[in-house]
Amino acid sequence: AALVAAGEVDMALGTDQGGSVRIPASFCGVVGMKPTHGLVPYTGLMPIEATVDHCGPITRTVRDNALMLEVIAGPDGMDSRQRGAQAQAYSAALDRGVQGLRIGLVEEGFALSNMMPQVAEKVRDAARQFEALGATVTPLSVPDHELATALWTPIGCEGLLAQMMFGNGGGHNSIGLQDVALIDRHRNWRDQADALSASLKLCMMVGEYGRRAFGGRYHAKAQNIRLRVKRSYERLFGAYDLLLMPTLPIVASKLPAADAPVTEIVARALEMIGNTAAYDVTGNPALSLPCGTVDGLPVGLMLVARDHGESIIYQAAAAYEQAVDWEAL
């Protein structure tokens, strides 16, 4: 994302299990799309946990993002995460405007404990701009937003321990092309575990605790609750075309010093995922779009749609991008 923002490259790929396409896009003032789960093949990429693994484009403009997704989306016949979804002509939606679109402003997305008031206000200003362009914007409460975020911990931590670490980046019980060279290389993590990041060590320990103390019960329970949450979002998208909230509660923070306490390192690593992780759990497409600055640092808004609703996200994002100069806001 930094290279894209700096103009060093035109576009890039990111992988997103808790927000890692949308987080750097928001921090850097670029466009990042986490597509519907399984839309983009994950073949050849480093997995964390197959049920939250996503791959998506990072670009400077909405048009480039839509064009890149047109190229990379669709089944490759080698990734068991995919269920046959076909790519669409996403760029065809870019000039449709937002007249008549129904947008829900998710209040829980503004209520995170570390939400910067200036960030929240920039996103609310953007919501008002969507109204000015012809969309209907309605504040609403989505309690399952917080629940989906909470589900990430057992799914993500126990899942990454099983697939990324014990499975050496491969895992079991799936049909598809396996990267044997990656497995051979990654298995050596056991000989250099001290080189793993503090946040990864923490997630591994949480996952191992869940495995030893409860035998995977809470991972399984979280997966079951995920199904219920998914159905509630499907009903929600019967009434709304899009959901809107801040991508992140903060703007980019300074990297911790090399000798910083582990608590500070972990806090910096995980403080921003309060809104993004939910849509890795539900699998819905979600895009981060720059909408202003706070103290000279970019702010991102997030648009979320029903499964395979990428076109409507691009439709709204393009209308906003064409109407405002976010760097002047």
**Res 176: pLDDT:** 87
pTM over 0.85: yes
Of the candidates 85, 84, 80, the residue with the CA atom closest to the CA atom of residue 170:
80
Dist. CA 304–CA 282, nearest whole Å: 11
pLDDT digits (tens, 9 = 90+) for 75-117: 999 999 998 889 999 999 999 999 999 999 999 999 999 999 9
**Res 113: pLDDT:** 97
Whether the pLDDT of residue 162 is over 90: the answer is yes
pLDDT digits (tens, 9 = 90+) for 120-154: 999 999 999 999 999 999 999 999 999 999 999 99
100-121 burial, b at 16+ Cβ within 10 Å, e below that, comes to ebebbbbebbbebeebbeebbe
Mean pLDDT over residues 215-240, rounded? 97
Dist. CA 235–CA 142, nearest whole Å: 12
Q: What is the CATH number of domain 2-142+233-328?
A: 3.90.1300.10
Domain residue ranges in the chain: 2-142+233-328
CB atoms closer than 10 angstroms to residue 266: 17
Helix, coil or strand: residue 206 = helix
Give the chain's end-to-end CA distance (angstroms, integer): 21
Whether the pLDDT of residue 175 is over 90: the answer is no
Is residue 247 within 8 Å of residue 301, measured between CB atoms? Answer: yes
Q: Retrieve residue 195's tokens.
A: 């080189």
pLDDT digits (tens, 9 = 90+) for 5-60: 999 999 999 999 999 999 999 999 999 999 999 999 999 999 999 999 999 999 99
Is residue 63 within 8 Å of residue 89, measured between CB atoms? Answer: no
In Å, how far are 43, 132, 152, 186 from 15, measured between CA atoms?
A: 12, 34, 16, 18
- What kind and span of H or E run contains 300? strand 297-304
Mean pLDDT over residues 281-294, rounded? 98
Q: Retrieve residue 260's tokens.
A: 């910083």
